[in-house]
Structure 1
Amino acid sequence: MTSINRAKFAVGDLVHHRLFDYRGVVVDIDPGFQASEEWYQAVAKSRPPRDQPWYHVLVHGAVHTTYVAERNLEHDTLGEPITHPLLAQFFSRFENGHYVREGRIN
């Protein structure tokens, strides 16, 4: 079983960042940390594990994305859609508290 199979969240899942209190949606998953050592030292202040899944997240009400370790995320309990200018590039619709990707999305 690979790390990606053990990922707690899936693409399209709504998540909540435990430390920074923001909501978002997962758009991609890395099986382990994939950014540079410099980025990790400068940004990952809580020193989350590199060998566990990391998530690319569109942040609700913002224009940026984040790269977050699994241990800093939890399932979002609101279940409401988020607003982000890149949503349509990743997903075709919001259904039952989850974003859905159908066919080829540009």
Structure 2
Amino acid sequence: MDRMAILQLSLLMLAIPAQYLLMKYTQVPDIQQRNSALQRLLSSAVGFKAKYLSWQTWQKWCIDMFGKVHSMRHKGSGHTGVEQPTPGQTSQGESPATEVLKFRDPKGYFGGSTEIRSPRQSNIKYRIGQVIKHKTWGYRGVIIGWDPVAKAPEKWLKEMHPADKRHWQKMPNYAVLVDTRDRHLPQRTYIPEESIEIISNTRIIHPELDDYFELYDGAQYLPRPWLQSIYPHD
């Protein structure tokens, strides 16, 4: 069966439940109840899209699948006298998650480089997993990466760093997952060190949070093994 036939069949199968739902909600006599029911239906549809059709969901699925494939390969190979990789790594020393990072931005801009940050320079003030607040804009977030100096396309640096803030390019810059309570659409930012302040007793809400961290210990987030391997001294 070709792709077009599969698509047509899928649309036909979806048409029946969609028709049923429309009939169900449009037959409600009270206008207010009908509007409320339709709003719930739309909210469910938006939730379904966010859960199953978003880039973050497919990224997480790819990471999980890579991990399962590598796990099956290791189980099938048995003990061969070769040192086994640490958790979260393949036999080549790469984790599935770092491979995804390389695919997303092969140049490693915005704190996304998979280059191991070792040794850790003494001028790096903050660490991955720390919860922060932007001093100017007030949004909260969690640090998922950093660069000793700004690493971004030249055009972006010129647009985002004003003429009187060119020194931002020479200081550590941090990749941050922004709390969706402060920015409704899931976002990442890249913040110069002097714009950051640490906050405590604050959890962050972001759909990608579990990809980077295992848990929150009450003060900061603890990184997954693959992220810790990139920042061994954080």
| TM bracket (short chain) | 0.7 to 0.9
2:161–2:168 CA contact under 8 A, matched in 1? no
Query: What's 2:26 paired with?
Result: none
Percent of aligned pairs with the same amino acid? 26
Q: Say whether residues 1:69 and 2:192 are aligned partners.
A: yes
1:33–1:54 CA contact under 8 A, matched in 2? yes
CA 1:103–1:24: 2 relative to 1, 3 Å: same
Identify, as 1 or 2, the structure richer in strand.
Answer: 1
Q: Say whether residues 1:49 and 2:168 are aligned partners.
A: yes
The two structures have a TM-score, normalised by structure 1, of 0.86
- Structure 1 counterpart of 2:130, which letter? D
Q: Classify the secondary structure of the residue corresponding to 2:168.
A: coil
Which of the pair has the greater relative contact order for Cα pairs under 8 Å at 6+ separation? 1
Query: What's 1:91 paired with?
Result: 213
Give the number of equivalent residue pairs: 103
2:215–2:222 CA contact under 8 A, matched in 1? yes
Radius of gyration: which is bigger?
2
Correspondences of 1:26-37 after superposition (within 5 Å): 26-37=143-154
Unmatched segments (≥5 aa) in structure 2:
1-118, 228-234
Query: What's 2:87 paired with?
Result: none
Query: Structure 2 CA distance, aligned partners of 1:53 and 1:7?
Result: 6
Q: 2:135 aligns with which of 3, 12, 18?
A: 18
Q: How far did 1:3 drift? A: 7.0
Deviations 1:14-66 (A, max 9, x none): 01101111010000010101002210111223624212100000001141100
RMSD: 1.9
Q: Classify the secondary structure of the residue corresponding to 1:5.
A: coil
Q: Classify the secondary structure of the residue corresponding to 2:138.
A: coil
Q: How far did 1:83 drift? A: 0.1
Identify, as 1 or 2, the structure richer in helix.
Answer: 2
- Structure 2 counterpart of 1:101, which letter? P
The two structures have a TM-score, normalised by structure 2, of 0.41
Q: Classify the secondary structure of the residue corresponding to 2:174.
A: strand
